[in-house]
Amino acid sequence: EAMQDYTKIVTAQKNYLTLSTLGNFIEQFSDNELVRVHRSFAVSTKKITEKRTNELFCGNYLIPIGKTFKTALSNF
């Protein structure tokens, strides 16, 4: 989750806060590992459990899907 100049990383075990923008954080991964779904959110493609029109689920987390990012999710 983007938080101005920081990125909040949520894992099953713990949450982390890193001094990096979300865009810079995503660049560190290969193309298929993380997908940006909203201007403030990116998710691991392996953790998507359900996709709806305007939102998706990653386990128990409900993540909004931004209008400009819907085409990136067309594969899921």
pLDDT digits (tens, 9 = 90+) for 32-52: 788 899 999 999 989 999 998
Phi-psi region of 4 (alpha: psi -120 to 50; beta: other; left: phi over 0): left
pLDDT per residue, tens digit, the chain (76 aa), is 999 999 999 988 999 999 999 999 888 887 778 889 999 999 998 999 999 889 999 988 999 999 988 887 776 6
Q: Indicate the pTM of the whole model.
A: 0.83
What pLDDT sits at residue 32?
A: 74
